[in-house]
């Protein structure tokens, strides 16, 4: 049996052992409803309150700006649909980058079907928003602009500060929403400088539990709720809170942010080692961009389909992805890769390697040996 090398952290990350052990009592004995007035409920409510405060400190926002959700997809839907359903916000246009995750792209399209004017912002071949094109799209009728902080397939960081300056000049009433699912804990999110109004987060991308996320209102902002009911989360997201999930989210985010800070020099070296190693395989086409972050490597092996490459790598113990795990069941080439100028043939043969705090230089030689075995076998297909 080959050893396992997990390189699909953009899809999900492993729950930190320490986080599980510290929050497990909330599953085993702390079963109270946070809205109940008795002792069990009060304890559960305190756990939710502490989690909210911890995340707020990490992001430097008021605690009431944290709205817990079921994950990044719900957060993106609440941001966009909540903004367009709010009577206090003006404008009929919504702009989203051409490389957004479906959690943003699909609600934006839905809003377009409901009468909003939905338009996509082109991106460059380096995988970043085309700022000149964005400037030409902005006007006083734009209600929401949504651009992710780090792309989930290419790993490119978007120029959020520059986008914010354009919005301030050309569309000052627009709400700037940022899908920060891939960026949170990995790099600073200077929402003040960029003028960001809303941030979407997901716990399972930062070594927390699945089924938990948050929408962060960086400044007071009126949104309409998607879910109506008991009025939890200040009426913005009704439904009984998940004390274990949100407590694990906050603890995992704190620990992961600290580890990423400590590992920053190593992570840059780790990715560089991968790029140098892949350069020895002339059949591979490696995506390179000055905007690339250190947490992802993307390559193609045309004309071999990405699924075939993935399974050969898995046979050697390397667990990778052909793209976004939320859309890999679709036979079409990724809209992200096509928008960045990749050919359909290359897009269909793409592979994404994504890293976390658990991927270190120790044992990298074994990973490379396993990768080479897979490539050798593929060369004989």
Beta-ladder partners of 300: 285, 350
DSSP 78-140: HHHHHHHH-TT---SEEEEETT--HHHHHHHHHHHHTT-EEEEEPB-TTSSB-HHHHHHH--T
3-state secondary structure 188-241: CCCHHHHCCCEEEEEHHHCCCCCCCEEEEECCCCCCCCCCCCCCCHHHCCCCCC
Tell me how far apart the alpha carbons of residues 141 and 151 are, in angstroms, rounded to a whole number.
27
Residue 308 CA to chain centroid, in angstroms? 26
DSSP assignment of 245-307 equals: HHHHHHHHHHHHHHHHHHHHHHHHHHHHHHHHHHTT-TT-EE---TTB-TTEEEEE-TTS-HH
Please answer whether residues 64 and 53 qualify as being in contact, where contact means their C-beta atoms are separated by less than 8 angstroms: no
Among candidate residues 15, 85, 326, 378, the one labeled active-site is 326
Dihedral of alpha carbons 69, 73, 74, 80, sign = positive
Q: Which residue has the tokens 């000055």?
A: 290
Question: Are the C-beta atoms of residues 215 and 199 closer than 8 Å to each other?
Answer: yes
Residue 45 DSSP code: H
Active site residue 326: yes
Q: How far is CA 20 from each of CA 17, 123, 125, 208, rounded to the nearest angstrom?
A: 5, 40, 41, 9
β partners of residue 93: 117, 142
- Enumerate the active-site residues: 326
């Amino acid at each position: 049996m080959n050893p396992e090398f997990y390189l699909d952290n953009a899809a999900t990350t492993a729950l930190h052992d320490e986080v599980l052990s510290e929050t497990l009592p909330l599953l085993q004995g702390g079963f109270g409803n946070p809205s109940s007035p008795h002792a069990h409920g009060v304890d559960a409510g305190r756990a939710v309150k502490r989690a909210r405060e911890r995340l707020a400190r990490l992001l430097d926002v008021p605690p009431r700006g944290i709205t817990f959700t079921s994950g990044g997809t719900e957060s993106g839907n609440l941001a966009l649909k909540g903004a367009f359903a709010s009577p206090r916000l003006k404008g009929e246009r919504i702009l989203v980058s051409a490389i957004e995750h479906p959690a943003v792209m699909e609600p934006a399209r839905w809003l377009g079907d409901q009468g909003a004017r939905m338009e996509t912002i082109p991106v460059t071949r380096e995988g970043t928003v085309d700022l000149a094109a964005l400037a030409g799209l902005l006007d006083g009728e734009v209600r929401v602009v949504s651009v992710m902080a780090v792309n989930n397939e290419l790993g490119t960081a978007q120029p959020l500060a520059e986008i914010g300056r354009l919005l301030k000049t050309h569309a000052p009433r627009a709400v700037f929403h940022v899908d920060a699912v891939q960026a949170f804990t990995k790099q600073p999110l200077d929402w003040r400088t960029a003028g960001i109004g809303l941030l979407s987060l997901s716990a399972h991308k930062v070594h927390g539990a699945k089924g938990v996320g948050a929408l962060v209102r960086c400044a007071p902002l009126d949104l309409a709720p998607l879910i109506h009911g008991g009025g939890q989360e200040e009426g913005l997201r009704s439904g009984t809170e998940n004390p274990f999930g949100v407590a694990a989210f906050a603890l995992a985010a704190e620990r992961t942010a600290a580890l990423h800070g400590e590992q920053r020099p190593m992570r840059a070296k780790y990715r560089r080692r991968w790029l140098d190693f892949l350069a020895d395989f002339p059949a591979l086409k490696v995506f390179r961009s000055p905007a690339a972050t250190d947490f992802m490597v993307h390559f193609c092996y045309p004309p071999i389909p990405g699924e075939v490459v993935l399974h050969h790598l898995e046979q050697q113990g390397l667990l990778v992805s052909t793209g976004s795990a939320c859309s890999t069941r679709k036979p079409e080439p990724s809209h992200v890769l096509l928008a960045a100028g990749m050919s359909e043939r290359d897009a269909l043969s793409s592979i994404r390697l994504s890293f976390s705090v658990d991927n270190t230089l120790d044992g990298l030689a074994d990973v490379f040996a396993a990768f080479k075995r897979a490539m050798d076998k593929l060369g004989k297909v």
